[in-house]
Amino acid sequence: MNYLDIYQTYRKKIKAYDYALWLISWDQETEAPERSNDYASNQLEVLASAQYDLEMAEERLEAINHLYDQINDLNDEIKIEIKKVKKSIDRLLKIPKESYIDYQVLLSKSSKVWAEAKHNNDFESFLPTLEKIVEFNRLVVKLYETDTLKGYDVLLDMYEDEMGIKEYDQFFDTLKENLVPFVLEKTKKKPKFNRALTRNKFSIEGQRAFSKYLLDVFSYDLKKGVLKESVHPFTSGVSSTDTRITTAYHEDNLISSIFSTIHEMGHAIYEQQVNESYDETLLNGGTSMGIHESQSRLYENMIGRSYEFWAQHYPKLQEIFKKELKKVTLDEFYAYVNGVSRGLIRIEADELTYSLHVMIRYEIEKQLFNGKLKVKDLPKTWNKLYRKYLGVTPKTDTEGVLQDIHWAGGSFGYFPTYALGTAYAAQIYHAMNQDIDIAKAISSNQIHLINEWSKEKIHQFGGLKTPKEIMLIATKEPFDPHYYVNYLIEKYKVILKD
């Protein structure tokens, strides 16, 4: 067998493990009965360890090294795949096995410690765990540093290729300069909405019917996906022919499930439209966290929160909630889905202020990994930055530094991709509008035109192109955050006019 055959034989087996592991996790998050958890995690452990042995098999590593040496003789697809695999294996081999195992054990317990600390508003009880997690990530930074990647850059690069401190600083500086003053000015008053929207209860059954209707509106392909329910909405895909989403219904909040469903559909339609021949390779799925988030945000915000969208679909919602929405006009509903306020919680943030929540986390992580901030000082710094950029101060750490699970899971460098993706979305939207009349596509119930454009310019490539290449193909220019700032200011100048 030649090296390519060996590599591909291993890949086939690894993919089969991936599939089994993925199905178990999906089941645990959605349908599995409560008591099944221990049994399931025992099986997960066995499968994950067998998969690890396959990945690190001598024969496989040898094949990868040989293929890497002859990289220019390979076709484009396999060339890119081998580069990615080689990079991740080289990195894994750099970490001492003992530290790696200690860290895995630490992570397996940390989310519980975090959840309790959050529940009890007790940062001190989470501090020792968080210090160890940060310490391990500082070690990772040391081990992975190269001539071009230093410090926090190493972590940023793990989530978004070729995005480091320099690029993110430019991005967030643009927000600080142009967006922060606008937000602080426009959010002085608390918004008022029709009380029927904020006081009524909306049946889960009715919300389910509307989410089902939305699947159709966006042409989410039910032959290649499903919609289920989970505590936190998410998308999970294993191939272009199987990409699933969840949403969460709340009786006291009509729009939460609507925008979760649309957001996750944005993620899922991306993966469903990747070139099907990549399913057996490692190029399936999206290319980066940022580009992935650009797709969910484009669907959620630019389409789902547009006036054209609700002019078209509000009657259906009113038909489902006849009594509850009888006295709510289209304009009142539109104002409600675009309401903005100075909030404390990132996942509840509106479209206008969302990226500022992310910017605060970026500043903190940067200081943490460039040596200027101690873990124990996180709450103080957190509160100071919230005051500065959002004009609010958390009263507790529960609604402050303890609100997100990411750091407990060892994810540093991940947060910035949320804001970056949202900003990519505005630039992609602008470019798309040159080719198709988006407002008209939405008004005439032809969102499939948007899907088709996205497939051609973004989705089909899967992991074949880098985020930078995707931006060039889709928008014909490099990433420029001004599209995002301009989009927000133009939109909210009108909505918040008095």
Q: What residues are annotated to the active site? A: 264
Helices (DSSP H) in 283-353: which residue ranges?
289-297, 307-320, 330-337
243, β-bridge pairs: 237
CB closer to Zn ion out of 262 and 320: 262
Supply the minimum distance, in Å, between the C-beta of residue 130 and Zn ion. 24
Q: Is 357 annotated as a binding residue?
A: no
Supply the minimum distance, in Å, between the C-beta of residue 47 and Zn ion. 27
CA nearest to 341, candidates 355, 330, 351: 351
At 337, list the tokens: 């889905």
CA nearest to 305, candidates 425, 389, 178: 425
Using a 10 angstrom Cβ sphere, with 0-12 exposed, 13-18 middle and 19 or more buried, the burial of residue 368 is: buried
CB closer to Zn ion out of 356 and 496: 356
Q: Quick one: CA dihedral 217, 219, 223, 226, positive or negative?
A: negative
Supply the minimum distance, in Å, between the C-beta of residue 108 and Zn ion. 25
At 7, list the tokens: 């590599």
Supply the minimum distance, in Å, between the C-beta of residue 263 and Zn ion. 6
Q: Is 293 annotated as a binding residue?
A: yes
In angstroms, the first-to-last Cα distance of the chain is 72
CA atoms within 13 A on the CB side of 252: 1
CB closer to Zn ion out of 187 and 296: 296
User: How many whole angstroms separate alpha carbon 448 and alpha carbon 441?
Assistant: 8
CB closer to Zn ion out of 281 and 296: 296
User: How many whole angstroms separate alpha carbon 469 and alpha carbon 287?
Assistant: 10
Supply the minimum distance, in Å, between the C-beta of residue 296 and Zn ion. 4
Supply the minimum distance, in Å, between the C-beta of residue 448 and Zn ion. 22
User: How many whole angstroms separate alpha carbon 425 and alpha carbon 253?
Assistant: 26
Cα 362 to Cα 4, 58, 219, 308, 356, distances in angstroms: 41, 39, 35, 34, 10
Q: Is 232 annotated as a binding residue?
A: no
User: How many whole angstroms separate alpha carbon 208 and alpha carbon 227?
Assistant: 10
Q: What are residue 229's phi and psi, to 5 degrees?
A: -120, 145
User: How many whole angstroms separate alpha carbon 428 and alpha carbon 294?
Assistant: 8
CB closer to Zn ion out of 261 and 381: 261
Q: What is the DSSP string of 95-134?
A: S-HHHHHHHHHHHHHHHHHHHHHHHHT-HHHHHHHHHHHH
Supply the minimum distance, in Å, between the C-beta of residue 267 and Zn ion. 6
Q: What is the DSSP string of 215-262?
A: HHHTT--TTS--EEE-SS--EEEEETTEEEEEE--BTTBHHHHHHHHH
Please report, as ranges, the residues that interact with Zn ion according to CB under 5 A. 296
| Binding-site sequence positions | 263, 267, 293
Point out the annotated binding site for Zn(2+): 263, 267, 293
